[in-house]
Amino acid sequence: MKLTRNPLLILLTLLVALESAVVASAATLIDSFPTRPIHWIVPYPAGGPTDMVARIVAERLGEHLRQPVIVENLAGAFGNIGMEAAAHAVPDGHTIVFAATSMVLNAPMYNFKPDPLPALTPVSQITTTTYVLVGSTAFAPRTMEDVLAAAKARPGAVTCGWGATLFQLGCELLRLQGRVDILSVPYRGNAPAMQDLVAGHIDLLFDPINTALPQIASGRVRAIASARPKRGGAALADLPAVAEALPGFELTGWFGVLAPVATPRAIVERLNREIGAVLEEEGVRKRLTDAGLEVTHGSPEAFAELIQRDQVRYAKVIREAGIKPD
């Protein structure tokens, strides 16, 4: 008896076989991951806070993955050089890149083209950084309400220093949300800005809580308000939030991990789980909290939402403040 060959049936059979082979191959890749050392690009200079956090986590992450995690500092162009290198890496999970809040500011502030951020996928958030608004002891206002009243009474007289783009946006947020004329004063870093605040040359400054605390404790500057969405946190827990006077105000930083956008989902999830396990270790948590950071871990989707939110929010501030791309 002659069998009738159905071309459609043959094609469907081949497609099912091909799909099964691809699934099996992907499963083998994921089960064996990682097969060599992980290359972790830190797109900022060695010795800074980002480098410190990466090395604390990398040391233990290598133990969890049973492969070394090698940190490489690839600084330049406000982080874009390292991000571009990661974006063009083979998307197999063996290359990851350190992420910081400042990355979402690069496209609207510096007009980089192409922007490498869309070519990277969120893996995991690692920490949150609290910022605090501090005032000079020569500056009379002690509360956020007093600051706004002083700025309204003397338009352009109240000064807000900044040594990084994110802190510049903090000063602009005060001006925009408070509807007051505050003079923004740029510095080459927050350390010299803090020196001028102590000396009474400027009135206000947003600073990471860990670097501001010694100055506050010594009485050289005055803590006015937390830039968290609400009061709390490990340090200065009772300090009022700026948002209590200006609803919706928030200025917080974050560190995290990204990977090339085509990295298999299962590998992203594996990296996320292992990073989460590292962050649960008491020794790691202590080293990070001692550095003034709040350990924060969640799903890749939660980190993606945070990045997207900050992209939209800060781009809006940049537009409304009239800041032109460099």
What does the block give as tokens for 88? 């063009």
Percentage of the chain beyond pLDDT 70 is: 90
- Residue 266's CB: how many other CB atoms inside 10 A? 15
pLDDT confidence of residue 78: 86
| CA–CA distance, 103 with 148 (Å, rounded to integer) | 30
pLDDT confidence of residue 234: 72
| CA–CA distance, 318 with 264 (Å, rounded to integer) | 35
Q: pLDDT band for position 203 (50/70/90)?
A: very high
| CA–CA distance, 6 with 122 (Å, rounded to integer) | 46
What does the block give as tokens for 119? 């070519």
pLDDT confidence of residue 232: 81
**Domain 130-244 in the same topology as domain 37-128+252-321:** yes
The predicted model gives 258-282 an average pLDDT of 98
Checking if the pLDDT of 306 tops 90, the result is: yes
| Of residues 210, 159, 157, the one with CA closest to residue 187 | 159
- pLDDT tens digit sequence for 71-103: 999 999 889 999 999 999 999 999 999 999 999
pLDDT confidence of residue 1: 44
- pLDDT tens digit sequence for 273-293: 999 999 999 999 999 999 889
| Contact predicate 200/222, CB 8 Å | no
The predicted model gives 130-154 an average pLDDT of 97
Parallel/antiparallel/unpaired status of strands 95-100 and 38-42: parallel
| Contact predicate 173/181, CB 8 Å | no
The CATH code that applies to domain 130-244 is 3.40.190.10
The predicted model gives 223-245 an average pLDDT of 91
CATH (one of 3.40.190.150, 3.20.20.100, 3.40.350.10, 3.30.70.120) for 37-128+252-321: 3.40.190.150
| CA–CA distance, 310 with 167 (Å, rounded to integer) | 14
Q: Where are the domains of the chain?
A: 37-128+252-321, 130-244
